A and B are shown apart, each in its own frame.
Chain A
Amino acid sequence: MAIIFRIALRNLREHKSKTLIIGIIIAVGIMIMTIGTSLIDTATTGIEKAFIENYTGDILIGGISENDLSIFGVQSVGGIEPTPRIPEYARILEYLDSRKDIEVYTPEVTSFAAISVEGQKDPDSRGMTLLFGIEPESYREMFERITILEGKFLKPGETGILLTQSNREIIEKRLELTLNVGDSILLTGFSDTGIKIREVEVKGFYRLLSETEGVNMSSYIDIPTLRALKAINAGGSNEIVLDASQTALLDADNFDDLFSDDAFSDAFAISETNVFDDPSTFLDPFAGSSTENANFELSETEVTDMSKIETLVENSLAISLRNDSGSYEFILLSLKNQRRTNRVVDDLNEWFIEEGIAAQAMDWKGAAGPFSSTADVIRNIFNVAVLLVAFVALIIITNTLLISVMERKKEIGTMRAMGARKGFVSLMFTTEIVLITLVFGIIGELLGLGALGIISLINIKAGNTLVEVLFAGPVLHPVVHISTLAINLAVVIVIGILANLYPVFVALRIQPVKAISSI
């Protein structure tokens, strides 16, 4: 083997021009690959970071659907396939609590809705939003990068909506009005059971770091309102104690009595004005469910105290959200160690199968759905371009190696005459091409790294949010993965070996006698 290596190395030195031709092709090729893959890796990292830190967490748990499920719902063609709810929610939470590798988790419901505002100039105009129905406390704990620009984030049990600043601007332009904190907007939701409209108060405006174009039309909304928009019925098992006046409501002889003003005022002692001023009081306490007993029994004094009523409703809702069953579409998980994501996803999916729970876990790529494929699309286009260049390079390298083989017929023939087996000759040429690709591949990668270093020093700034995501930050600092460098090098070596196949085939067909007589 040492002699093969020695001959190969010296032959490369001896035939400098051919070595340089092949070497330069390889070095330039791998330099382009290094720069290209680095920029793609940067974009992938940016998209991954944007989604994990803004929308999906490390892992998403959802129900089982026929088509691909993502945080945006089920990707079905030609219709709306309802997003499946997570079954056996309490058991899943119990299991998640038992795992030590999970930092925090939060439930979520998502939907799309049209936005309109009473009194808008053009009554047919609508804004659009992607609604994330969230549990504020755990959601905020998971997604710390939310910057509230105006207003406040939702409190546990509070109803309301927070819009992104960019969507606020779009809506204001489209509806020709100004949106402010405290304004009411009308959300029109579409579900398999029809259209639902809910009025909801704007609680604030926010911005995410590295927002993804398209997803920046998202809004945070309380889960009960979103459920109402989606016509989701939440099952429950709360034991609720009714006082005499509430019981009297159930004893109403007819619907007129049930919905009469007297009945409402008697039961809840809430004025009509209060109900419309604060939609939270309008929430149906029966929508929530709990394995614990939520205390809805109000004393006469408490009934007259609105703030206490609100607190009670909020608390009861907070409890119910944590213990709901069958009324969430997703659970988002944040892990203590992101590197364990694939392992945890596998564990969860195995557990779901073992326990017969119709749920699935996926990483951010699955959760991000079509958005995650952005980088893949760019990568595929790049790979096709690389493939074409590689094909041309392959032909040039093959041709150059073939010339080299023909020029060395005498040497090959002599070796074969002296007893060198075909394997020896084949290995000698393979060693040569591997050496060239390895040496010039490393040179090309170093050149590529140098170019990336220069790009990083130039501080190219992102012009918009999409570019910001692709840059993985406001300024382009390309990332370089050692594994990518190794893969690029391996790819070039494989190309070299492929290019060497035909010349080696020709070399092995050279008969010693022909080689000697050709001198």
Chain B
Amino acid sequence: MAIVSLKEVKKTYPLGKTEVHAVNGVSFDIARGDFISIAGPSGSGKSTILNMIGCIDVPTAGTVELNNQITSSLTDREITELRHKFVGFIFQSFNLIPVLNVYENIEFPLLLGKNTPELKQRKEWTEYLIEEVGLTDWAKHRPNELSGGQRQRVAIARSLATKPELVLADEPTANLDSETSEAIIGLMKKINKEMNTTFIFSTHDPTIMELAEHIIKLKDGLISSEYRRDK
């Protein structure tokens, strides 16, 4: 059953007197537990598609269904709640909160919802995630004291804090060296297997792209190819 479904999705941005067609009618389904790479050169529409799936942007035309809910029909409050419960984000520039340390950054999403878990539960889960991403010794450090790879690990752990079914990673390796990039994708893959969390990540790096099991290639806002690799 599809966890994400895009039907004839288009996204147009105004640019002065002209319009930029970032996405030109894209349709695809993503099944629960998938580990997908959306690949393509810069300007192909990767980030736009991820943003629309993550409900932080709305399509100009077409529908995005997330967990069987058409996102464009939801109110701002409902979308916020859906994002909080259902989606985890990993950003290219990590986007960690600079004034919070590693532990606090990972714990942060747990404090945003209506039903905040008890302190003990929060602590156990946060420490588990820190251990999973191998940052136990760095728990009290601020983001500016960490390397790029470490920051992205924090971002991965943070994206999993609310136990979302879907994690969206927009070029998670763009700011990392190749060795670290592979390690990060490896970590995501490990969590995908352990927690059955669906991962969608965008990349323009063919090496990284090939690490995914389901690959969607974009060109000029359209799907140029889509295929699955053997697990």
Contacts and interface: CB of A to CB of B under 8 A. Distances in A.
| Bind each other | yes
Interface residues of A, number: 26
Contact of A512 (B56, B77, B97, B158): B56
Contacts of B162: 419
Given A414-B95, A513-B51, A513-B57, A419 B113 contact: yes
B144 to A, nearest CB: 10
Contact of A7 (B84, B92, B93, B99): B99
A421 B80 contact: yes
A91 interface: no
Contacts of B76: 422
Contacts of B89: 414, 417-418
Interface in A300-335: none
A393 B103 CA distance: 38
Interface string A410-448: 110111111111101000000000000000000000000
B98 A3 contact: no
B56 A10 contact: no
Contacts of B158: 418
B99 A417 contact: no
A457 interface: no
A11 B142 CA distance: 13
Contact of A419 (B92, B100, B112): B112
Given A6-B104, A424-B112, A513-B51, A419 B84 contact: yes
Nearest to A410: B95
B200 to A, nearest CB: 15
B51 A418 contact: no
A519 B104 contact: no
B91 interface: yes
Given A7-B99, A414-B97, A420 B112 contact: yes
A411 B76 CA distance: 19
19 contacts: A6-B99, A413-B95, A414-B89, A415-B97, A415-B112, A416-B80, A417-B89, A418-B83, A418-B89, A418-B109, A418-B112, A419-B85, A419-B113, A420-B112, A516-B51, A516-B56, A516-B91, A519-B92, A519-B93
Interface of B: 47, 51, 54, 56-57, 76-77, 80-81, 83-85, 89, 91-93, 95, 97-100, 104, 108-109, 111-113, 158, 162, 170
Interface of A: 3, 6-7, 10-11, 13-14, 410-411, 413-422, 424, 511-513, 516-517, 519
